[in-house]
């Protein structure tokens, strides 16, 4: 089983649609969950991060983490053509685990390519 799985898409939606992006993971030691946005041939840009389970909202973006299901989501409301990019989920172990010999490396999903059509 892959450590982090993400449907690569592509996903094409009309402008104004609600977009749902998801990842599943297998390692229960992951505690921090991130969403990065990556434009073509550019570096990943941090969008949001969440610690442990719960929701976090930032403008049109909402991140959800369900640790019991090992499932994370990113919702984009009122999607815009400028949201067209590849969205990468990433996760890492907690700082406490790091101190106990864990890992702080980010483990990424493969990314979902999103196109928002005007």
Partner 1 sequence: EPEVTQTPSHQVTQMGQEVILRCVPISNHLYFYWYRQILGQKVEFLVSFYNNEISEKSEIFDDQFSVERPDGSNFTLKIRSTKLEDSAMYFCASREIGGAGETQYFGPGTRLLVL
CB within 8 A of 19, min separation 6: which ones? 11, 13, 74, 75, 76, 79, 83, 114, 116
Q: Report in angstroms how near the CB of residue 88 gets to partner 1 at its nearest.
A: 7
**How many residues touch partner 1 (CB under 8 A)?**
28
When binding is defined by CB under 8 A, the residue of 92, 112, 114, 116 that contacts partner 1 is 92
Part in contact with partner 1 (CB under 8 A); list of ranges 15-23, 27-35, 59-67, 73-81: 27-35
| Strands of the sheet with 4-6, listed across from one edge | 4-6, 19-25, 71-76, 61-66, 54-58
Residues 34-63 that bind partner 1 (CB under 8 A): 34, 36, 41-46, 49, 51
Structure tokens at 101: 């010999």
Distance CA 62, CA 2 (A): 25
Q: Report in angstroms how near the CB of residue 72 gets to partner 1 at its nearest.
A: 13
Structure tokens at 34: 């991130």
* Footprint of partner 1 (CB under 8 A): 31-32, 34, 36, 41-46, 49, 51, 88, 90, 92-95, 98, 103-111
């Amino acid at each position: 089983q892959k450590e982090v799985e993400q449907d690569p898409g592509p996903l094409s939606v009309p402008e104004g649609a609600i977009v749902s992006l998801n990842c599943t993971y297998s390692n229960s030691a992951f505690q921090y969950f991130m969403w990065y946005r990556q434009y073509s041939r550019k570096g990943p840009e941090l969008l949001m991060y969440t610690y442990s389970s719960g929701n976090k909202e930032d403008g049109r973006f909402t991140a959800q983490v369900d640790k019991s299901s090992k499932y994370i989501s990113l919702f984009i409301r009122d999607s815009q053509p400028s949201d067209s990019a590849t969205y990468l989920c990433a996760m890492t172990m907690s700082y406490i685990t790091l101190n106990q010999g864990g890992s702080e490396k980010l483990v990424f999903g493969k990314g979902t390519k999103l196109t928002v059509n005007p």
